[in-house]
Amino acid sequence: MIHRPPAPNSANEQKIQRAASAVLYATLVLLALWIVREFLPAVAWASVFAIVLWPAYQAIERRAPFKGRKTLIATLLTAAIGVLVLLPIAITAIQAGGEAHELYLWLRDAQENGVPVPDFVAHLPVGSRQVSDWWQANLAQPLKASPAMKNLHGDTITSFGRHFGARAAHATMTFAFMLITLFVIFRAGPRLSATVMRGARRAFGADGAQLLQRMAAAVRATVTGLVVVGLGEGVLLAAAYIATGVPHAALLGAVTAIAAMLPFCAPIVFGGAALWLVIQGSLIAAAALAIWGFVVVFVAEHFVRPVLIGSSTRLPFLLVLFGILGGATTFGLIGIFIGPALMTVLMVLWVNWAE
């Protein structure tokens, strides 16, 4: 009996097979992403840190003591990120712990005796009587019996504490997995970088690899802009804290610098400091601090930061601003870096289409 080889598939069958393969691959990829969905934020943050620190990785690797020692380099860079993130949190927690006893005594006294009307209320240019009446009705009496505090009962505080604890535990786990992922990325080193670029060229050609490099440059420029502007705002506002007599000015300046690395978060810090000055009766100092803070933030967020990021990514001012704010609105904190990268893709596609 003669066995004949199977006839080659027709062109139509080959198209069906390619389509079925594409559907199968897409389904498997989506299923895999759905399985690891809880770890995607950690992977995204690790990717951002890896992109930013990749020039430092290459510079360290070129030095004689570190040649071929990928595990050591990965350990050093991962530990550096861990320290840079955890050190400010630890310092703030220690400082807050030192003030916790005084805060507890103040809260206990307010619960039993209320909060007296500050002297500055009587000197307000408008609305002093209304503010005084509201304060007398809600805060001047013992807070445990105040109508304004009736919702702050034990169950509410307990629920808030549980929610905060759950969020803190989730953030801690995400940070831990981010460090593990970052170590693995650095440990893979140039081999991973070469694999990614080779995959981009195979899938999208030379233009795809170039686009990937532009996106990485956008992420790196965004981080540089955030850090530089944040440190600048922290220094300028720390000087204002010292000039206006705000306590713990250096620590508050460091907190302001960290907050300023996120768009429009610095006003929360200097606004709280200005409110403290108002409660102390220093109205002029509070107004000066608030005005100076808003001027610094306005100039930094609308001009300095977009220029720093745009000059490296060759993006127009408006696209940088839209990328940062729109990315943060859509994807949360990680969107600050994703937004400018996507705007870079949009700009490259537009230029290629228009040419």
Domain positions in the chain: 38-129+162-188, 205-355
pLDDT at 195: 81
pLDDT at 224: 80
pLDDT at 6: 52
Residues 136, 141, 142, CA angle at the centre, nearest 5°?
155
Between CA 177 and CA 272 the distance in angstroms is 33
pLDDT at 289: 92
pLDDT at 221: 81
Count the Cβ atoms, other than its own, within 10 Å of residue 238.
Answer: 20
pLDDT at 168: 80
Q: What is the pTM of this model?
A: 0.71
- Give Cα separations from 180 to 54, 74, 75, 189, 216 (angstroms): 17, 10, 10, 14, 21
pLDDT at 210: 77
pLDDT at 282: 82
pLDDT at 236: 92
Instruction: Check if the beta carbon of residue 191 is closer than 8 Å to that of residue 179.
Output: no
CA end-to-end span of the chain = 64
Q: In the chain, which stretches have pLDDT less than 50?
A: 1
